[in-house]
Structure 1
Amino acid sequence: MIVDNKCRTILVAPLNWGLGHATRCIPIIKALQDHNYIPIIASDGASLDLLKKEFPYIKALELPSYHIEYAKKAKNFKWKLLKSSPKIIDAVWKEKKLVKKWIEKYAIDGILSDNRLGVLSNEIPSVFITHQLNVMTGNSTWLSSKLHQRIIKKYVECWVPDFEQKPNLAGELSHLENPNFKIKYLGPISRMHKKTTAIKYDLMVILSGPEPQRGLLEEKLKIELQEYKGKVVFISGIVEKEQSKQVMDTTTYYNYMSSRQLEQTFNESELVLCRSGYTTIMDLVKLEKKAFFIPTPGQYEQIYLAEKLDKENLVPYAKQEDFKISDLQKVGRYQGLKSLKSKLDWQELFSVFQT
């Protein structure tokens, strides 16, 4: 390993598919700063907006959008994604060209791509971040996984935010029997920290993910919550220029929260109702929270994770169309998510950029 004192510039580029890819990059960006690296942020849409709010003094660049949308019906999920594939491929080619220009313009020394397929270079160390070594797509899982692994192989390393051995969080998603590329397991990473604080809310609802499913769930939950007896905080997961707050009876609505505010609210909440997105799961593990999951219809990854954690008696779940507010009573019969201790050596991890 070659180490010197040069202050290297690292491009950090999360995918804009929900906010999970962006939020799990937050602790990585902070660690880069702590270890004498200069991060540059690159993304699009809500993910870029969120990171610009978190790091207003870091240079932020805009990448082309993949235009990812969910179908209104779960059975149409793969068809909708297939229809979007020409736009995704076009965006990947455009971001490849942009990255090539940016490397020279901003003297970039390394790349961290969180599932952005065109953010890489043969000239500088490029690392891929994903918890999906296998990509769940139903009866086409084998094909989608092989295609994804072929892309990952182009990078010098693949960082997986999970444990290598059991117990782990993502199961088959994040583990391969005979990988043909270099994998480093980071353990769960989260921007959140557990605090000892008084409980202020009986229920915290936090939404995320692309439309229209985010909005459909929001409409459903607002109706269901009319039957809930308790104090609720409801975060819609819409990143806008200004934060909005509205109080209606015993429910307080926010459009979005900053990381610090969100961390405080998590700690002040008894129970969390949310999607079974992997970044959310890592946050809940760090906070040791009890939760109830409603996986996004048609998204096989979230369904797999919800089923896995339900079988392990950790977190119950329900299909979106079946959910009733009374289902929350099931949580008491489950163990909840507990912190799994891991120590990450950031200096050793970042040594890939010192070569």
Structure 2
Amino acid sequence: TTIHVFKNNVDSAGHAFGCHENYLVRRFVPLETIEHQLLPFLITRQLYTGAGRMTPDGFQITQRADFLDEAVSSATTRSRPMVNTRDEPHADPDSFRRLHVIIGDSNRSQWSTWMKLAVTHLVLCAIEDAFRHGVPSGFEQYAFADPAAANRTVSRFLDNPRAELTLESGESVSALGLQRRYYAAVKAFIETHGDALASSLPATTIDTIMGEWSRVLDALERGAYDALADRVDWAAKKRLFDALKRRRPDVTFAQMEQLELDYHDIANGRLYGSLVARNQMRELLTGDNVEYAVHNPPTDTRAALRGRFVDAALNVGAQFSADWTHLTLTAPERREAILLDPFEAEPTLGFEQLMEALN
């Protein structure tokens, strides 16, 4: 039996399923601010994070746009929002809210996954800091009059790269133009907050992120989509589809759908692996990096403490449970430690007492 596991967002029957991103946001930033200032960025960043999709009406750069009908909602089944308001911070609830983003596509490209998180982090930092000091972030006037319509227009970017998106203010701007505005505002923010931002990015540098962001926007401006095909999923797919249609002008939609499914098959797909093997898709991590991360938690977060507890409990055969914030011994004597700070890797008194009970 061959098992296929697809990392994608749409099936052939018209069902859509999400890709979830979660960000810790300071509690003092109202959700309404996030909706108005961040959502236009999330919609237009799909220019370089979209996974692409072949539809009967043509190629779109995102998979989810045609299925999302609300901007913000607490529901994810009866409606399909871009941001879910369910507030489970898995941290100190007085300090943080959980920003649960479900507008994004499921990427195969490591570069797209990295960019999606890194650039969103920088934009959120600018929004948080502005609200903390009661000053403009630079993003106040970017809210869309109709986010769902803007999202669908961005998805059809290749049909009309200069298509105008209408803002609540009545102004019109292209998706690429809006991304450039976000880029400029973040760059200005970095000039006065560079050290603090650098300390929040232990695994990369601000210059690397901003350089990649600038280069991808420049390539999109030039229409140099092939230049992005080694890192942007939709561009990689477009190159494949274009090459296939040149070789086989009579190729059917079903055949292209099958090729696309193979691209997303992480269990037995061959297409994506062949692109990597031929250096046609950029990888940021080696197999050894991934294997190490499977077995070793980050040393600078509470995951290191959770890992120590789970390992020790398994070694002595204790009955236990562990979630984001609670480590619990359930037998022979019930004890619990609470870890509310995701970035604290130093043992708390409660954690030390829990480990002593295991010994």
**TM exceeding 0.5:** no
Per the normalisation by structure 1, the TM-score is 0.25
Indicate the structure whose relative CO is greater, using CA pairs within 8 Å and at least 6 residues apart.
Answer: 2
The structure that is helix-richer by fraction is 2
Per the normalisation by structure 2, the TM-score is 0.25
